[in-house]
A and B are shown apart, each in its own frame.
Chain A
């Protein structure tokens, strides 16, 4: 019986991967006899996404350390493995060995849950990135008509985890970090959402696949250059990397909301940061630079190339710019980015109406 379910689940997984809906026993559209199959497929999918995210994070951390060493005329990690490629693995083992300290006065449950609230949405965000198309297949785990809403929801959940971590640490530096994180989130998220909405208006769909298909001739960065700039700055602010690393700010707030974290919980924050950098690069590539669209190479290669370019740009911004003040960031968010994104929304709406009239 178990074998039967196992085989059925594999069959079902293959069919689902091919976008063929063949479910023998259904009630109101839901399969009844295949709940184990559903379970296994879901677990496999989540594992797949997790593995992809982890691979991307490992590569990105290595590239970050090497690139930072390059611009500082250093060599960087070069002892663990060939050219230091296994350095992150060694670091992870070191972090796992370390003691997991919870402060005596901290809010225990919230303190322990906060890293996962930051990390999980980043991994889940990789589910809705279309990694290319092979004939009829879109290499994405979840494909439905509202993937952008899904993505936005996950992008905006993670700062809540930072705020929870900062508040529950019962430490004044962490508290400042959490408050700054809250102020910063409100400053950049509204312009970010408005510039995403302009893309959705221009493409006429909430689906990431449709947005990429709409950019077959002209990438959206050309009609929406203002929206791209706003979204790019918002992504830098969301990752909390310099020049907008106010919640962490090592020199003044002792790494802000993650002051009290040690061992692997700190490591989870660290990996979430890099994971979001990769996710943001892929989102920018999908939204504004045509995702998998491109000549000669297969689509996956194009998406990876575009994403890698943006990762390098983020790293360059990280290593070259200094930190701004809190009021400067809030001024930038509310006084400049918000009006610019609204202007961009008007432009793209007019363009969408015009194009609808033409075609």
Chain B
């Protein structure tokens, strides 16, 4: 036997008062809106933004190229003199490194998960500005830098 509970009128009034008090307190909290042209949006640390590559630890295993669902990552020939220490620990004999087309990247995070040495990471970097479509494919060297550092480069 379940007993039906019918709330009395005082319960309703108390509920209404509680709701209004909650809303009233909400009026004194700080705003969450950012006015975008004037203010900068902030992103959480774990945002999966642009692909970053640490050239020192990349071993050229092509796993990231194989897992990439839409051909964003493509291995390119690239000559880079690693230091003695990194060359011993992370050898890259074929001298191939990933390049990333940021315009078609879906930020799916698969390359970061499959990378055996942790060379590829997706970080909270979302402001990618380009005037030519050919510039959207980043070289391994560019993948190591932040967007702010890249803005100064001549990329026509």
* B24, A321: Cβ atoms closer than 8 Å: no
Q: Please name all residues of chain B whose beta carbon is closer than 8 Å to the beta carbon of A319 when the two chains form the complex.
A: 23
A78 and B31 CA atoms in complex are apart in Å by 13
Confirm or deny: B33 has a beta carbon within 8 angstroms of a beta carbon on chain A. yes
Complex interface: stretch among A69-77, A151-159, A250-258: A69-77
* A316, B33: Cβ atoms closer than 8 Å: no
Q: Please name all residues of chain B whose beta carbon is closer than 8 Å to the beta carbon of A67 when the two chains form the complex.
A: 27
Partner of A321 from B20, B30, B32, B35 at Cβ < 8 Å? B20
A72 and B30 CA atoms in complex are apart in Å by 10
Confirm or deny: B4 has a beta carbon within 8 angstroms of a beta carbon on chain A. no
Q: Which B16-31 residues have a C-beta within 8 angstroms of A?
A: 16, 19-20, 22-24, 26-27, 29-31
* B20, A73: Cβ atoms closer than 8 Å: no
Q: A73-B33, A75-B33 are in contact. Are A316 and B24 (CB under 8 A)?
A: yes
Confirm or deny: A97 has a beta carbon within 8 angstroms of a beta carbon on chain B. no
Interface size class of A (residues with CB under 8 A): 10 to 19
* B20, A70: Cβ atoms closer than 8 Å: no
* A316, B35: Cβ atoms closer than 8 Å: no
* A73, B31: Cβ atoms closer than 8 Å: yes
* B19, A320: Cβ atoms closer than 8 Å: yes
* Chain A proximity of B16: nearest CB distance (Å): 6
* A321, B19: Cβ atoms closer than 8 Å: yes
Q: A73-B33, A75-B35 are in contact. Are A321 and B27 (CB under 8 A)?
A: no
* Chain A proximity of B23: nearest CB distance (Å): 4
* B27, A70: Cβ atoms closer than 8 Å: yes
* Chain A proximity of B77: nearest CB distance (Å): 52
A67 and B23 CA atoms in complex are apart in Å by 11
* B24, A73: Cβ atoms closer than 8 Å: no
A317 and B35 CA atoms in complex are apart in Å by 29
Instruction: Indicate with 1 or 0, residue by residue over A311-327, a CB within 8 angstroms of chain B CB atoms.
Output: 00000110111000000
* B31, A71: Cβ atoms closer than 8 Å: no
* A73, B23: Cβ atoms closer than 8 Å: no
* B33, A74: Cβ atoms closer than 8 Å: yes
Partner of A320 from B20, B29, B31, B33 at Cβ < 8 Å? B20
* A71, B23: Cβ atoms closer than 8 Å: yes
* Chain A proximity of B20: nearest CB distance (Å): 5
Q: Please name all residues of chain B whose beta carbon is closer than 8 Å to the beta carbon of A78 when the two chains form the complex.
A: 35
Q: A316-B20, A320-B19, A321-B16 are in contact. Are A73 and B30 (CB under 8 A)?
A: yes
Q: Please name all residues of chain A whose beta carbon is closer than 8 Å to the beta carbon of B19 when the two chains form the complex.
A: 320-321
Quick one: which of A73, A78, A321 has the most chain B CB within 10 A?
A73
Instruction: Indicate with 1 or 0, residue by residue over B95-133, a CB within 8 angstroms of chain A CB atoms.
Output: 000000000000000000000000000000000000000
Q: Please name all residues of chain B whose beta carbon is closer than 8 Å to the beta carbon of A70 when the two chains form the complex.
A: 26-27
* Chain B proximity of A175: nearest CB distance (Å): 31
Q: A320-B19, A321-B19 are in contact. Are A71 and B26 (CB under 8 A)?
A: yes
A54 and B155 CA atoms in complex are apart in Å by 58
* Chain A proximity of B11: nearest CB distance (Å): 15
Q: Which A309-359 residues have a C-beta within 8 angstroms of B?
A: 316-317, 319-321
Q: Which B22-66 residues have a C-beta within 8 angstroms of A?
A: 22-24, 26-27, 29-33, 35
* Chain B proximity of A208: nearest CB distance (Å): 30
Q: Please name all residues of chain B whose beta carbon is closer than 8 Å to the beta carbon of A71 when the two chains form the complex.
A: 23-24, 26-27
Closest to A79 in B: B35
Q: Which A268-321 residues have a C-beta within 8 angstroms of B?
A: 316-317, 319-321
A195 and B31 CA atoms in complex are apart in Å by 41
6 closest residue pairs by CB, A with B: A320-B23, A70-B27, A71-B27, A75-B33, A71-B26, A73-B32
Could you tell me which A residues sit within 8 Å of B by CB distance? 67, 70-75, 78, 316-317, 319-321
